Structure 1
Amino acid sequence: MEVFEAFIFKLRERRTIDLDAPGIVEGIQQHFQLLPTRYALDVNIGSLDVLNHKRLLDSARADPSAVSFQVRPVDVAGAAQGNGSSVDRRPSFGNLDTLLTEAASAQAVARSLSRHRSLPRPAFGSSPNLQALVLEVEERLEGARSVVGSPETCFFEVTVASVDQPKLLSRLSECLGDLNLNICEAHAFNTVDRFSLDVFVVNGWSGQGTEDLEEVLSERLQQLPPPLSVHGGSASPIREEGTREGPEVQPGEELPAEPSKSQDLDRSSPVPMQASTSGSDDWELDPADIVFQEKIAAGAFGDLYKGVYCGQDVAIKILRNVHDDTQQYQEFLQEVMIMRKVRHKNVVQFIGACTRKPNLCIVFEFMSGGSMYDYMRKGGPLKLTTVLKIATEVCRGMDYLHKRKIVHRDLKAANLLMDESGTVKIADFGVARVMDTVGVMTAETGTYRWMAPEVIEHNPYRERADVFSFGIMLWELLTGRVPYDDMTPLQAAVGVVQKGLRPVIPASCPAPLAAVMRECWARNPNERPSFEHLKGRMEEQWRAARVAEDARRVSGGPGLLSKLRKNMKGGA
């Protein structure tokens, strides 16, 4: 509310907008209320960016089938002078004259200063990551040519508003990457009414100017899968025009009511599997045998329930409003196909599935211990022996999966579940894939903070992408923190690819474990170890840690533990 009031005060000072007109102030207040507090704290209220964001979001709400966007050149160098709010916490960006003196003539610097003064600042200022990128570009260009007007030093702000949906950031970053644009900074906000506002600062555009970039970006956005309407149905494709508005969206199907404890899944004709389904269909369950008890979790396309199947406690993953031609439906079929083949003590056991419309579900063994992510949030940091035990069990499960040519593609603590005996098992194969005959894949998937550089860049990748995620997951287990928690997911992805960003290993981490993490998150996939190799190393470290823990317990002091750690370092 303080930022909203400050923004209204600045608008009154401008005297260019009639704030006494009915609904104007109320509409701006609602705009702030629908967005998270972080938006109000970061946005530049000294400009009209807030009104631009409101206009784009209002356009997206008027036609949820369309993606509204705006492109404009921005002055990155001047952004650090302030964002218009009462307190500016951004770091000083430096003087443009200092940055360019060694790389351009005095005349070129004068032209560049004049050009930058005429450009607006980014809506969210500039970050240390963006500052480092510009400095790097200038150093690379030093002495080579005049930097004025070069594509690498022209920055654009791309603002996108649309219906919020899974993988939206991934798809938008892919669009920008396909145009050879470097994403230097990204800000993503979700509204209370399920829309998304995404702001990117990019450079690298080699076209003629803003209009040219708008036209090319519009064409590329039209190739995206159509957004999903707020009712869950598919909407019409993106249209041409400044805000990309289109025909009236057709109403989608309403979400079905949640099953009650006594309600069974509807019977209907089975859906033919579009993946390989050789062998008997003994995994196809009779819906009448499934009983729901309580909801465990909810997601964008389905819910997870605890229930009972033939007297056994199970977890039931239900998909809602999924149609034959959607990516979610294909992932459902893929998950069933993969899980049918998997039998390992460190992989969640698949019991069966219902591929009958209108309800689709997959039934797994119930893991009473919950996820490792939730376990750490409730119980605090894990002991070293616990971390190494979990790492060993994950390596065993992943080695099994990789030998069966299955790539998980989303390995993280949230996808590790624990049973009543404390055994950790790998779960959530919704984005897993079986490698084809060539053995490489190119579709981006997974979670940015854990994603390998080659996956982020949409390059061909193999099973070693899972090894990178395992290294990040080790750090997550050791620290109990989310990787790069001071950045947005997309900022972290940009840092991993462009800056070699990796988590900071704690000083208390044993040297052998630190070495494993560094090897796992190597930039070159060929330099990462296999899970077969990692399995042996993790088992050895786990044994040594247990011996050290027992010795410390007996001696009552750290002396022997220190010696054992020293021996472990020597063995590495």
Structure 2
Amino acid sequence: MAKEYSSQQLSFSVSNTMLLFHLSLTCSSQNDENGISVDDVSDFDDGFVFDIDPCLLVNCDKLDIGEMIGEGSYSIVYKGWYESRPVAIKMILPQRTKDATPECKAKFQREVKLLSGIDHRNVVKFIGATVKPSMMIITELLEGGSLQKNLKSIYPTAFSLEQCLNYALDISQAMEYLHANGIIHRDLKPGNLLLTEDKINVKVADFGTAREDICDEMTCEAGTYRYMAPELFSKDPLPKGAKKSYDRKADVYSFAIVMWSLIKNQTPFKERKDFMAAYAMANNMRPSVDGFPKDILPLLQSCWDDDPKLRPEFTEIVETLKRILQNLYSTKNISEHGDIKEVDSKIHEEESAKTLSTTSLESSKKNENIPKLENETIKPNDGTHGKSQSQSHNGILPALVQRKPKKKNKINRLFSCFRCCFAS
């Protein structure tokens, strides 16, 4: 967990670190001139030889260390510059490589190899590393700060549900990628999740405890107690040399606690100390879900299931979050644009009424000329238009029908008169 420092403490710490760093470089240069390198000294001390690809190592002369931005039990993180580019510099403790144990060097080497092989938009980008005079890992600098810091800054309020779900999706996509490449993180928590400068996206960071997914080599109690899966925590002491057997599903449990903390903006089991919080979870206790969004609750509860085999894979989690977000967007759009749709509907109805009125008027005018068109056929229509026509024709058709027979009778009488004249 990162600690807060006053400006005076920060200045003192940074100046001490810079002094030590430059002194180490000076000593390194003097040793090189005498034919003695830091690597030689380190190898002489404990026999450990770094096995890191030289193309991953950067030139210390191009590296400038600035203010401290974070601290842990394993390392200190500084803001810095590499070739005039802002970077984050993770300096492994102890600060001088020759003072580190072989176990510490092996852990650093493993982190460099794992992080350098990762390429995903939701994982912090590796830039390079140094092994002398200090073991350092250089990554991209994320100006948005940690998720933990951002949550603390807005407490007691929380991020919107939409933003929380987007962050959760970013995290789950990163974890899906890591698991697909045989890597488990083992320390997923808000302090190891960094936001971009615009606060839109989140990236997974700190691979100090990450390991390849090999069950028989997993040791117990790796990570942070409050976010640790129950299978990693031992309620009873293990025999000497015994190891816990667990797999990537431990990350799924940690993700569930992170998602709960993110949405609620609360610390899980805040009233308990770290160790007792882990003990409670090992006894199948979970943080309260009162007021938790119902649509997300099934996902949360499946992810923190006591049985690792019943927890979903991150592939399933990604798809579930996408579906929930899609439903949320749909509901939001309906809510925001509902009034607009009502107005559009009314406008459409008014326009239809005007069109119908105009059409009826035109039809009525045409119907006035029907007597002049004796051969026109009129078809019945059940609609309003048809009714208008029917009403216009009611007073016209009977007259036509009655006049036609009278004309025929007059003609017949005229022909009869002609016949009589010719006959006489």
- Sort the TM-score into its range (normalised by shorter chain): 0.5 to 0.7
Larger radius of gyration: 2
The Cα offsets for residues 227-271 of structure 1, whole Å up to 9 and x where unpaired, read as xxxxxxxxxxxxxxxxxxxxxxxxxxxx99311699597245447
Equivalent residue letter for 1:501: M
| Residues 1:291 and 2:64 aligned together | yes
SS class of match (1:368): coil
Q: Is the 8 A contact 2:51 2:109 kept in 1?
A: no
Please give the residue correspondences for 1:92-491 in structure 2 after superposition, counting only pairs within 5 Å.
Answer: 257-259=16-18, 266=25, 267=28, 268-270=37-39, 277=51, 280-321=53-94, 323-325=99-101, 327-357=103-133, 359-379=134-154, 380-421=157-198, 422-436=200-214, 441-457=218-234, 459-491=244-276
**How far apart, CA to CA, are the structure 2 residues paired with 1:275 and 1:337?**
15
In structure 2, the CA distance between the partners of 1:440 and 1:275, relative to structure 1 (3 Å rule), is farther
Name stretches of at least 5 consecutive residues in structure 2 with no aligned partner. Answer: 2-13, 29-36, 235-242, 340-424
Q: Hey, what's the Cα distance between the residues in 2 that align with 1:488 and 1:553?
A: 44
Equivalents in 2 of 1:439, 1:319: separation in Å? 27
Q: CA deviation at 1:505?
A: 1.1
Q: Is the 8 A contact 2:146 2:192 kept in 1?
A: yes
8 Å CA contact 1:467–1:521 kept in 2: the answer is yes
Greater helix share, 1 or 2? 2
**Is it true that 1:550 corresponds to 2:353 in the alignment?**
no
Letter in 1 for 2:57: E
Residues 260, 365 of structure 1: alpha-carbon distance in 2 compared, 3 angstrom cutoff = farther
Q: Which amino acid aligns with 1:424?
A: V
Check whether the contact 2:143–2:196 (CA below 8 A) recurs between aligned residues: yes
- The question of whether the paired residues in 2 share the 8 Å contact of 1:298 and 1:304 is answered with yes
Change (3 A) 1:344 1:483: same
SS of the residue corresponding to residue 306 of structure 2 reads: coil
1:276 and 1:392 map into 2 onto residues whose CA distance is 37
Counterpart-to-counterpart distance in 2, 1:261 and 1:325 = 19
Aligned to 1:515: 298
CA distance in structure 1 between the partners assigned to 2:49 and 2:247 by the alignment: 20
Q: Residue 232 of structure 1 aligns with which residue?
A: none
Aligned length: 299
Distance (Å, rounded) in 1 between the aligned partners of 2:202 and 2:180: 20
The code of the aligned residue for 2:334 comes to A
- For 1:42-90, what per-residue CA distance to the aligned partner results, in whole angstroms no more than 9, with x for missing partners? xxxxxxxxxxxxxxxxxxxxxxxxxxxxxxxxxxxxxxxxxxxxxxxxx
1:496 aligns with: 281
Whole-Å separation in 1 of the counterparts to 2:266 and 2:58: 39
CA distance in 2, matches of 1:401, 1:434: 10
1:530 maps to what in 2?
313
Task: Give the Å deviation of 1:512.
Answer: 3.0
Gaps of 5+ in 1: 1-165, 167-254, 557-572
Question: How far is 1:378 from its partner?
Answer: 1.0
**Aligned partners of 1:416, 1:275: CA distance in 2, in Å?**
32
CA–CA distance in structure 1, aligned partners of residues 269 and 88 of structure 2: 31
**Alignment map for 1:29-68 (pairs within 5 Å):** none
Q: Give deviations 1:364-397, integer Å, cap 9, x for gaps.
A: 1000000111111112411110111011111110
Q: Which amino acid aligns with 2:189?
A: K
Among candidates 485, 489, 505, match of residue 289 of structure 2: 505
1:492: how far off? 1.4
Cα deviation, residue 276, structure 1: 9.2
Cα RMSD for the two superposed structures: 2.9
What TM-score does the superposition give when structure 1 sets the normalisation length? 0.49
Residue 404 (structure 1) shift:
1.1
Query: Matches of 2:270 and 2:299 in 1, distance apart?
Result: 22
Contact 2:94 2:100 in 1 (8 A): no
Deviations 1:103-154 (A, max 9, x none): xxxxxxxxxxxxxxxxxxxxxxxxxxxxxxxxxxxxxxxxxxxxxxxxxxxx
**Distance of 2:85 and 2:147 partners within structure 1:** 23
Q: TM-score, normalised by structure 2?
A: 0.65
8 Å Cα contact 1:367-1:419 kept in structure 2: yes
Task: Indicate how the Cα distance of structure 1 residues 530 and 264 shifts in structure 2: closer, same or farther if over 3 A, else same.
Answer: farther
- The structure-2 alpha-carbon separation of the partners of 1:391 and 1:261, relative to structure 1 and needing over 3 Å to count, comes to farther
In the alignment, the residues of structure 1 paired with residue 295 and residue 50 of structure 2 have an alpha-carbon distance, to the nearest angstrom, of: 42
SS of equivalent residue, structure 2 residue 244: coil
Partner Cα separation in structure 1 for residue 123 and residue 190 of structure 2: 14
SS for the counterpart of 2:18 is coil
Determine the C-alpha separation between the residues in 2 that align with 1:553 and 1:274.
Answer: 63
CA distance in 2, matches of 1:312, 1:439: 41
**1:198-234 CA-partner distances (Å, limit 9, x unpaired):** xxxxxxxxxxxxxxxxxxxxxxxxxxxxxxxxxxxxx
In the alignment, residue 259 of structure 1 is paired with which amino acid?
M
Q: C-alpha separation between the residues in 1 aligned to 2:330 and 2:216?
A: 41
* Equivalent residue letter for 2:141: F
Following superposition, the deviation at residue 418 of structure 1 comes to: 0.9
Indicate how the Cα distance of structure 1 residues 291 and 256 shifts in structure 2: closer, same or farther if over 3 A, else same.
Answer: closer
Checking the alignment, whether the CA contact within 8 Å between 1:274 and 1:333 is kept in structure 2 is no
> Closer, same or farther in 2 for the Cα pair 1:274/1:527, shift >3 Å?
farther
Partner amino acid, structure 1, of 2:177: Y
Q: Deviations over 1:468-525 (max 9, x none)?
A: 0001111000111111001111111221123x11011132x33231111100111111
Tell me, yes or no, if the aligned pair for 1:285 and 1:352 is still in contact at 8 Å.
yes
Per-residue deviation, 1:275: 9.7
